């Protein structure tokens, strides 16, 4: 009750921010004389619409070099144009990626690494909700492949670059996994790796919730591993709030029109929706904080399953085993 009231009124939490804080406000407050944003490079996935586009815009406006990792290059060009209209000097690089395809993620990483740029911030934001059971080209259920496994592989392939950048520049690397409060809805009985890859009884809401739970488990376990090797890179998960974006439109069959009307009173603006991501990516307040879950720009509780250390360890090991098996060197002459 107290939490709902806080959300509706926008009362600030311990960080000094609340549900009504905007990404712009966070970026202004996060300016640090010791780390000019112009020194930073960020990759934002899913930056062609909704929360990701706003995150990219705000970061670029502050002077961060932004790599838009996009499936639809025409949409990415439009986002770039809009950012440039606001800030002619903004440095935006567009690189193609389809997060549901291991081969495409490989191409993206090869391309990015060949540019020789540093990497300080990785925002794993892209997401999809699929009402019907669909499979990726790697024959994995599409929501899990896109929202979790794709970001897992992307992070695996870029983590050494981030660790190196942090050690060379002394600037802490930050990874943000965009999750959702819906991770609380996971049915523990269906959360087993093979079932996530090829579900027996598909339910779009469960599939989405499971992928969002996996985003938090990924952040928690990788954070433990990064701490163990004393790497100066943090990884946290966030719930952006409920925002009327592309993803919520796909949810219409699930939220009936009457419920949607009530829910609309609770929706955040896109700028408010991007605030927690920007807070976790930029704010000096949480330097060194890793393996945590944030909402409304404050650390908050996640579900018992999301806090299950064994489950997180198992998920990461199984994910590593799967991608290693699928990505064994391809026969000579194979086109990726
Ligand atoms: N909106 C909410 O209320 C809400 C609540 C909780 C969590 N979230 C999370 O917030 C994140 C951003 O969602 P949003 O609300 O901003 O949704 P959105 O407007 O639908 O944006 C999703 C983005 O992900 C991209 N994407 C989807 N599939 C992709 C793929 N295979 N490869 C590369 N990019 C892909 C989309 O690109 P295309 O347009 O080209 O497909 C788009 O740029 C998601 O992770 C979502 O789960 C949203």
- Average pLDDT score, the chain: 91
pLDDT at 1 over 80: no
CATH code for the domain of 78 = 3.40.50.720
Mean pLDDT along residues 112-135: 97
- The answer to whether the CB of 216 is under 6 A from ligand 1 is no
Instruction: Report d(CA 152, CA 215) in Å as an integer.
Output: 8
Which residues, in sequence order, are CB contacts of 83 under 8 Å at separation 6+? 56, 57, 60, 61, 66, 90, 92
205 within some domain = yes
Contact 271, 113 (CB under 8 A): no
Q: What is the pLDDT of residues 57-103, one digit of tens each?
A: 999 999 999 999 999 999 999 999 999 999 999 999 999 999 999 99
Which of these is catalytic: 7, 17, 129, 202? Answer: 202
Closest-lying ligand 1 atom to the alpha carbon of residue 147: 45
Mean pLDDT along residues 284-292: 96
Domain that holds residue 27: 17-326
- Closest C-alpha to 169, from 65, 39, 290, 43: 39
Considering the entire predicted model, what is its pTM?
A: 0.94
53 within some domain = yes
6 within some domain = no
Residue 144 — φ and ψ, nearest 5°?
-65, -40
Query: What's the N-to-C CA distance of the chain in angstroms?
Result: 52
pLDDT of residue 34: 66
Distance 186 CA to ligand 1 centre (A): 20
9 within some domain = no
1 within some domain = no
Instruction: Report d(CA 68, CA 185) in Å as an integer.
Output: 31
- The answer to whether the CB of 246 is under 6 A from ligand 1 is yes
In percent, the amount of the chain with pLDDT more than 90 equals 80
pLDDT at 250 over 80: no
12 within some domain = no
- The answer to whether the CB of 100 is under 6 A from ligand 1 is yes
- The answer to whether the CB of 50 is under 6 A from ligand 1 is yes
pLDDT at 210 over 90: yes
pLDDT at 330 over 70: no
333 within some domain = no
Q: What is the pLDDT of residues 6-50, one digit of tens each?
A: 777 778 899 999 999 999 999 988 876 666 667 899 999 999 999
pLDDT of residue 256: 52
Total domains present in the chain: 1
Q: Is 148 labeled as catalytic in the residue annotation?
A: no
207 within some domain = yes
Which residues, in sequence order, are CB contacts of 225 under 8 Å at separation 6+? 316
Q: What is the pLDDT of residues 304-319, one digit of tens each?
A: 999 999 999 999 999 9
pLDDT at 328 over 60: yes
pLDDT at 213 over 60: yes
The least confident of 111-120, 167-176, 193-202, 250-259 is 250-259
């Amino acid at each position: 009750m107290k939490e709902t009231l806080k959300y509706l009124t926008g009362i600030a939490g311990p960080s000094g921010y609340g549900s009504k804080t905007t990404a712009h406000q966070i970026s202004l407050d996060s300016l640090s004389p010791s780390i000019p944003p112009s020194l930073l490079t960020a990759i934002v996935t899913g930056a062609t619409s909704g929360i990701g586009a706003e995150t990219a815009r705000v970061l670029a406006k502050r002077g961060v070099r932004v790599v838009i990792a996009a499936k639809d290059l025409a949409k990415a060009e439009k986002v770039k144009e809009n950012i440039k209209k606001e800030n002619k000097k903004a440095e935006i690089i567009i690189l193609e990626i389809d997060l549901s395809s291991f081969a495409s993620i490989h191409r993206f990483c090869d391309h990015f690494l060949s540019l020789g740029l540093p990497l300080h911030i990785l925002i794993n934001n892209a997401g999809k909700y699929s009402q019907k059971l669909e499979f990726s080209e790697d024959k994995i259920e599409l929501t899990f492949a896109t929202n979790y496994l794709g970001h897992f592989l992307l992070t695996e392939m870029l983590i050494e670059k981030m660790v190196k950048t942090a050690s060379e520049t002394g600037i802490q690397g930050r990874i943000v996994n965009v999750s959702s409060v819906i991770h609380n809805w996971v049915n523990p009985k269906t959360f087993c790796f093979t079932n996530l890859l090829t579900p027996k009884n598909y339910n779009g809401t469960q599939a989405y919730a499971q992928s969002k739970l996996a985003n938090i488990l990924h952040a928690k376990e990788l954070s433990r591993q990064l701490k163990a090797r004393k790497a100066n890179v943090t990884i946290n998960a966030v719930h952006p709030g409920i925002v009327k974006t592309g993803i919520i439109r796909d949810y219409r069959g699930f939220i009936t029109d009457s419920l949607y009307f009530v829910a609309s009173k609770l929706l955040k603006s896109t700028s408010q929706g991007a605030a927690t991501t920007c807070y976790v990516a930029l704010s000096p307040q949480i330097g060194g904080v890793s393996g945590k879950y944030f909402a409304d720009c404050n650390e908050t509780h996640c579900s018992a399953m999301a806090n299950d250390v064994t489950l997180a360890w198992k998920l990461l090991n199984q994910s590593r085993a799967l991608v290693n098996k699928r990505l064994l060197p391809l026969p000579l002459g194979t086109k990726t």
